[in-house]
Amino acid sequence: MADPGQKLISVQRRFPSLYPILDADLVLRGLAGQDRRELLLHLTQQLAEAGVQILQYRNKRDEDSAVLTDAAAIKEAAGSMCLILNDRAALVSVAGWDGVHLGQDDLAPQQARALLGNQALIGLSTHNEQQVIAAGLEPVGYIAVGPVFATASKADTSPVVGVEGVRRARALTNKPLVAIGGITLETAASVYAAGADSLAVISAIFSAPGRSTAQSARDFLEIFK
């Protein structure tokens, strides 16, 4: 039987190879109101135009009302992109989004599945082999593994797993595997070759020196052709 949530990506032959994470701490710091909305619209439009098929919004600090306002702006510009909200499962249906990404200390995947139903795409972060094995038994549509490399985009990171950690994780699950943490254009090919179905990218998409968000996304997508 197919994993719950897989219908969201059934029109594709495989899980989207590029998985940008729009992180509020990185992108929206100091912005509010219309400026914030305009930036979210602009960034999401650039990703859509580049051909990105899935996008996660991560906001660990703001109140639910602010996150919902941000989610509405992103959805307005997202087109057919699959939209995943980090952590806040209770807001997914309210926002009209497609799923949720959970950390090890967030809502349990079974509870999220009960809340969101079988059509939602649910992802789960893992940081070692034991967590990957356990995640394989959960009702999730994909498993994230990392951090692959050191990253400055998240303060409470676990020890790096390296490319070899991605390779080991690949051997432990048949579910789509998303590698995350410090991945750049220079390291992307090696991580992909280690068995990742998808690369989750934050800084190298949204704050790459001398490159627009659209160009950064296109550069990554070229690697997977």
E strands in the chain: 18-23, 54-58, 82-86, 99-102, 121-126, 142-145, 177-180, 198-201
Non-local (6+) Cβ contacts of 33 within 8 A are none
Nearest CA to 121 out of 141, 144, 92 is that of 141
How far is it, in rounded angstroms, from Cα 168 to Cα 181?
Answer: 16
The model's pLDDT over 14-38, given as tens digits with 9 standing for 90+, comes to: 899 999 999 999 999 989 999 999 9
Question: Residue 13: pLDDT above 90?
Answer: no
Instruction: Report residue 45's pLDDT band, with 50, 70 and 90 as the boundaries.
Output: very high
The model's pLDDT over 180-210, given as tens digits with 9 standing for 90+, comes to: 999 999 999 999 999 999 999 999 999 999 9
Quick check: 77 and 56 in contact, CB under 8 A?
no
| Torsion angles phi and psi, residue 55, rounded to 5 | -145, 135
Say whether domain 6-223 belongs to CATH 3.20.20.70. yes
**Domain locations in the chain as residue ranges:** 6-223
How far is it, in rounded angstroms, from Cα 30 to Cα 8?
Answer: 34
3-class SS at 206? Answer: helix
Instruction: Report residue 7's pLDDT band, with 50, 70 and 90 as the boundaries.
Output: very low
